[in-house]
Amino acid sequence: MSKIILASKSPRRQELIKLITEDFICIPSNVPEIVPDNTKPEDVSQVLASLKAQDIYRKNPNDIVIGCDTVVICNNKVLGKPENQQKAKEMLKMLSGNKHKVITGCSVIKDNKEQIFKCVTEVEFYKLTDEEIDNYIASGEPFDKAGAYGIQGRGSLFVKGISGDYFNVVGLPVSMLARKLREI
């Protein structure tokens, strides 16, 4: 029988997939996250999700592999995970008082067939003060998260509104993924 493999080391994704099934294993992909230069910002997460899933599927061809990637897009610019405090500050200033999109791309591969899809959620931030941004960065929370914030943590204090799937912003669109898994 096929195992379900989540190609992710994200503790948030590991918790969220348990809403779908407890019967899975995690094998993180270490594939370089490189997208072709002509990739549209809205497609970056799908390209990266596919790269991760294919990397793990090559080594586990009898299993079902799920790859995911989440990006934040503000002003048509992709905001990944900040490498340092300065980048985190730049990202949070860009998000401050604005709406942005959180896009999670997913790839599900079984029997050499790949389904790639994405979930888009719009998030609006309150206008943030420099003190709020500095305190948040000092907490350490922004550094392993796309767009330099976690909606499930202290980053929730910045959110004025959300339109779409909350769990997508956390990193895994569970309802959409559950439906795709049922299809296969």
Neighbours of 176 (CB within 10 A): 17
Catalytic residue among 23, 37, 55, 69: 69
Annotated active-site residue 69? The verdict is yes
Residue whose structure tokens are 């907490």: 139
Q: Which residues are catalytic?
A: 69
